[in-house]
Amino acid sequence: MHRSLIVLALLQTASALLHSHTQKKWRDESKENYAYVTMKFVYGKTLGTEWEASMNNTLDDKQIEHEANKLFDPERAAHEIKKARSFKAKTQMELENDGKVPCEKRDPMRQVARLAGQLEGVGSKYPLIVYTNDECLVRLKDSLPKNIILETNFKYLPRKCAMEGKNNMHFHKLGVFGLTQFKKLMWMDWDLQVKENIDDLFDRDTNDGKTIYGQRDDWKCTGKKNVTQLWSSASGGFCSGLMLFEPKKETVDELIASQGKVCWGDQVVISRAFSGKNFVTKEPTGKVWNVWDNEIISFRGCQRKFKPKVVHHADLPGNDPGPAWKFTEQSGSEEK
């Protein structure tokens, strides 16, 4: 019995050392200092800087209806209103207490492991950074796929703008713009299906952090080149589902300053900060957001038309992604 315990301890130590060596290998091989990045967030006092209640300043039913009708076309507005009310009714209390749920009753690595597996499956040479405040995920670090690197220096950002309930957690993803140890990062939502290698997208010019690239918010599959004509988009045609950027500390400050009174979701804030003019002073900034072609990434309902390298399984009118892609730890995806 004693000998068995010694052998088990040695095996666990060897596994930890191997995992540590593998993570170092991924850092060393990414000589350009590029990486994919996603976020694993739980509500409650967990890892990172001092906790602030993320459900504060949430749009009420009347405000949701007003903002949705102002931001979207009638079809999308009705869908967003219904989805927001369903989220508030079913999960608000559950989400507030999520960080207190015992680790053994959750599966915190499921979504990030699936995303990492997809990147490995298409031969990506860059690691997946998981920006997280989830202690349960950190405890499982030795069991994570070899191409995952955890970033636990989590920052709770000061949100003042009123936001739609299901998007509250997404505001904190703006903190990835502060991961300045990396030259370039590619944000990935959990509900992305990676069909082909997209490492070459890192070669796009980010102009010292002044230019970002995101998905066309073309969920109606129009194929319009001028995305600002997409009336059904809350952010003027920009979707952050697959977003290339260059981390800069000053960008985080600019994002926080671009909140306004109402921001609906994170990509509204991002599009404001990179609109070319300072959101507050209206002075030129030299910043700009661009979008990928639909052949790079498109929404689930458009994949037959555009045959993209990446499919975004977002919950949109007429395009229910099904339980495999919705935001639950049991189903395995963050809904955007």
Domain spans of the chain, in order of start: 1-31, 34-312
The CATH architecture of the domain made up of 34-312 is Alpha-Beta Complex (3.90)
pLDDT recorded at residue 113: 94
pLDDT per residue, tens digit, the chain (336 aa), is: 444 444 444 444 444 444 444 455 555 555 679 999 999 988 765 666 554 544 566 767 777 777 677 767 777 777 677 766 665 554 444 543 466 778 888 888 888 999 999 999 999 999 999 999 899 999 999 999 999 999 998 888 888 887 766 667 778 899 999 999 999 999 999 999 999 999 999 999 999 999 999 999 888 898 887 766 555 555 678 999 999 999 999 999 999 999 888 787 788 899 999 988 888 888 999 999 999 999 999 999 999 999 999 999 988 877 777 777 765 444 333 333
d(CA 51, CA 60) in angstroms, rounded, equals 23
% helix, strand, coil for the chain, step of 5: 40, 15, 40
Q: Is residue 265 within 8 Å of residue 255, measured between CB atoms?
A: no
Q: Which of 178, 151, 162, 172 is nearest to 52 (CA)?
A: 172
pLDDT recorded at residue 31: 60
pLDDT recorded at residue 320: 75
Q: Is residue 261 within 8 Å of residue 255, measured between CB atoms?
A: no
- Which residue matches tokens 């967030």? 41
User: For the residues of 114-183, what is the DSSP string, one character each?
Assistant: HHHHHHHHTT--S-EEEEE--HHHHHTGGGS-TTEEEE---------SEE-GGGTGGGGGGGGGG-TTSS
Q: Is residue 214 within 8 Å of residue 240, measured between CB atoms?
A: yes
d(CA 178, CA 314) in angstroms, rounded, equals 26
Per residue in 180-215, pLDDT (tens digit) is: 999 999 999 999 999 999 999 999 999 999 999 999
Per residue in 13-55, pLDDT (tens digit) is: 444 444 444 455 555 555 679 999 999 988 765 666 554 544 5
Map residue 184 onto helix, strand or coil. strand
